[in-house]
Amino acid sequence: MNGLDIGWWGVPIAIIGGAIRVSTPFIFVSLGECLTERSGRINLGLEGTLVFGAMAGYAVAFHTGSPWAGVAAAALAGMLFGLLHGWLCSLPKVNDIAVGIALMLFGTGIAFFFGKPYIQPVAPDLPAIPLGWWTDIPQLEAALRVNVLFVIGAILAFAMAWMFKATRVGLIVRVVGDSTDAARAMGLDPNWVRLWSTAAGGALAGIGGAYLSLYYPGSWNEGISSGQGLMAVALVIFARWNPINCLWAALLFGGAGALGPALQSVGVSEGYYLFFAAPYVLTLGLLVATSSPTQAISGAPGELSITK
């Protein structure tokens, strides 16, 4: 079979491959946000965490020569951002949505500030698993080169769902998220639980950022994230705070994000910028379709400020 001549079949194949590639940061950020929101707090600042994680991961990978050290550094940096967010929100009268906006701007700014020297140098990439070894079609084979982080993210989604359902930690997070008063009555410290849920969520968002700079697109620049962190927040609402749904939603969003490049690869360049807007339009459309003006969204944690 002639690999160069698959014509329009290239589009769905490119979308599948693109969905897997593009979805990975969505998976990590949305799982992080899912954990944070289940504890009753929203972190709108994950966009800033994502960008800072991308920069920190790239810089550390460049200096150490190890992409995994970069991922670890991005997770650590993300955790610090999460701790900062969690601590600020634990102060009385401080609004978590506003703190998220502030940290979104701060995280992006500080990432650009320190990231300037790393725009030129080349850091080592994360490894990929060639799951497409069985096929002769090079496009399909390329589409099925799956990054290790995607696999980890997919496993993590199921692990987190299990954690919420069957473990003590999961139960504690859920109780705190559903009722601060009930949690206090049980002798839990809601602020402490939310602090560490936000920190863990930030760490996951940082890993999502490292994926951006270390695998796809695979370099650090100031335009590396264009709202993925924010879309992930919307995606969690669409996924009804269920980690496994987050995985499917992330794949859907990844597919939408891959639409533009896929069409471009077969020579459709008209309206390129409009296809670029597809993921945002999809996010907005899903929010409009699944929200309700009169009742709280089913499955929403009771203490969450955006659904109250």
Q: Which residues bind other proteins (CB under 8 A)?
A: 44, 88, 91-95, 97-99, 101-103, 105-113, 116, 226-227, 230-231, 233-234, 237, 270-274, 276-277, 280-281, 283-284, 287-288, 291-294, 306-307
Residue with Cβ nearer other proteins (127 or 299):
299
Cα 263–268–270 angle (5° rounding)?
120
Nearest distance, CB of residue 43 and other proteins, angstroms: 12
- The single residue listed with the structure tokens 């890993």 is 207
Indicate the residue among 4 and 91 with the shorter CB distance to other proteins. 91
How far is residue 305 from each of residues 113, 155, 194, measured CA to CA in Å? 32, 29, 13
**Phi then psi for 245, rounded to 5 degrees?**
-60, -35
Main-chain phi, psi angles of 239, to 5 degrees = -80, 5
Q: Which pair of structure tokens corresponds to residue 157? A: 């989604």
Q: At its nearest, how many Å lie between other proteins and the CB of residue 285? A: 10
31: helix, coil or strand? Answer: helix
Shortest CA distance to 26 belongs to which of 171, 223, 238? Answer: 238
| DSSP one-letter code for 65 | S
Structural contact between residues 42 and 306, judged by C-beta atoms closer than 8 angstroms: yes
Please name the residue that has the structure tokens 């949305």.
Answer: 30
What is the CA 278 to chain-centroid distance, rounded? 17
Return the H-helix or E-strand segment holding 187: none
Smallest distance from other proteins to CB 289, Å: 8
State the minimum distance, in angstroms, from the CB of residue 155 to other proteins.
28
Residue 130: phi, psi to the nearest 5?
A: -80, 90
Residue 119 or 129: which CB sits closer to other proteins? 119
Question: Nearer to other proteins by C-beta: 114 or 158?
Answer: 114
- In whole angstroms, how close is the CB of 282 to other proteins at the nearest point? 10
Nearer CB in complex with other proteins: 68/106: 106
If the CB atoms of residues 3 and 285 are measured against other proteins, the closer one turns out to be 285
Closest CB to other proteins among residues 66, 291:
291
Using a 10 angstrom Cβ sphere, with 0-12 exposed, 13-18 middle and 19 or more buried, the burial of residue 233 is buried
Please report how close the Cβ of residue 293 comes to other proteins at its closest, in angstroms.
4
**Residue number, 108 or 147, with CB nearest to other proteins:** 108
Report, in Å, the least distance between residue 207 CB and other proteins. Answer: 22
Structure tokens belonging to residue 202: 């930030």
Instruction: Name which of 193, 161, 168, 188 is nearest 39 in CA terms.
Output: 193
Least distance between other proteins and beta carbon 118 (Å): 11
Secondary structure (3-state) at 167: coil
